[in-house]
């Protein structure tokens, strides 16, 4: 992996991006601060560094993408992250969303079904000084050994909310997950009111790559 360098040019580009996200409706100051601090270009191949601060998704290999900054900010805002939160992420991808969560003081457990992406994210995140707990596998089954989680974020489009994830959410916890068909999904926030009661709130529409697994799409 090449040396990681950040400079005033990239910092300026991040300031511009953060201002753009604020005009698009992102209000959580902690979320905006994290996007200002985490260099998104580290998650890009060097030749494409100049694209890192456009509000767009970008290919990361294996047919997957790093989510659009607006989407990352939106999902993070729905979670109301507090320092010390234990967060489960399904779909590590590039590791950028995990970095944003850790920058905000969360402890992150993240699962990725493509081993090559998981290994690449592990190397980069450690090099950046973050300490995520990562594994390669089917995230639709959650990670029972570490449950319950204060927050759960699913970064791929699901046909339904996987039951295992509802079970592994702490009481009072929040999950954010895009639910729909393979073309478009509605962002859903699931709040666990008690052991047997959840509240589901439907939010805006997005387009994610599919969540593939036992409680996801069967490919």
Residues of the shown chain interacting with ligand SAH in the complex, contacts defined by CB under 6 A: 64-67, 90-91, 93-94, 96-97, 111-114, 117, 138-140, 155-156, 209, 211-213, 216
Q: Which of 88, 91, 131 is nearest to 112 (CA)?
A: 91
DSSP state of 4: P
Contact 167, 88 (CB under 8 A): no
For 164, phi then psi, to 5°, come to: -60, -35
The distance of closest approach from Cβ of residue 194 to ligand SAH in the complex, given in angstroms and rounded to an integer, is 27
Task: Indicate the residue among 55 and 199 with the shorter CB distance to ligand SAH.
Answer: 55
The distance of closest approach from Cβ of residue 26 to ligand SAH in the complex, given in angstroms and rounded to an integer, is 16
The tokens 């967060």 sit on which residue?
Answer: 87
Task: Indicate the residue among 194 and 218 with the shorter CB distance to ligand SAH.
Answer: 218
Task: Indicate the residue among 144 and 172 with the shorter CB distance to ligand SAH.
Answer: 144
User: Which residue of the set 67, 94, 110, 118 is catalytic?
Assistant: 67
The angle subtended at Cα 22 by Cα 188 and Cα 93, nearest 5°, is 50
Is 67 a known active-site residue?
yes
- For 54, residues 6+ apart whose C-beta sits below 8 A from its C-beta are none
Q: How many residues does the chain have?
A: 219
Task: Indicate the residue among 77 and 140 with the shorter CB distance to ligand SAH.
Answer: 140
CA distance 211 to 175: 15
Q: Which residue is nearest to ligand SAH (CB)?
A: 93
DSSP state of 210: B
The distance of closest approach from Cβ of residue 197 to ligand SAH in the complex, given in angstroms and rounded to an integer, is 26
The distance of closest approach from Cβ of residue 87 to ligand SAH in the complex, given in angstroms and rounded to an integer, is 12
For 208, phi then psi, to 5°, come to: -105, 165
* Catalytic positions: 67
């Amino acid at each position: 992996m090449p040396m990681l360098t950040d400079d005033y040019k990239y910092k300026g580009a991040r300031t511009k991006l953060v201002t753009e996200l604020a005009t698009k409706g992102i209000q959580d100051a902690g979320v905006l601060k994290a996007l200002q601090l985490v260099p998104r270009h580290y998650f890009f191949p060097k030749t494409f560094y100049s694209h890192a601060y456009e509000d767009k998704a970008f290919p990361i290999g294996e047919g997957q993408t790093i989510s659009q900054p607006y989407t990352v900010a939106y999902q993070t805002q729905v979670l109301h992250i507090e320092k010390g939160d234990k967060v489960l992420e399904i779909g590590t991808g590039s590791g950028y969303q995990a970095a944003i969560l850790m920058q905000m003081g969360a402890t992150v457990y993240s699962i990725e079904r493509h081993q090559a992406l998981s290994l690449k994210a592990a190397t980069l995140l450690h090099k950046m000084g973050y300490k995520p707990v990562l594994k390669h596998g089917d995230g639709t089954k959650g990670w029972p050994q570490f449950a319950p989680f204060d927050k759960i974020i699913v970064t791929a489009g699901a046909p339904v909310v996987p039951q295992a994830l509802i079970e592994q959410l702490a009481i009072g916890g929040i999950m954010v997950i895009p639910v729909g068909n393979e073309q478009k999904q509605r962002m859903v926030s699931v709040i666990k009111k008690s052991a047997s009661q959840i509240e589901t709130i439907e939010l805006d529409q997005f387009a994610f790559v599919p969540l593939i697994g036992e409680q996801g799409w069967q490919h």
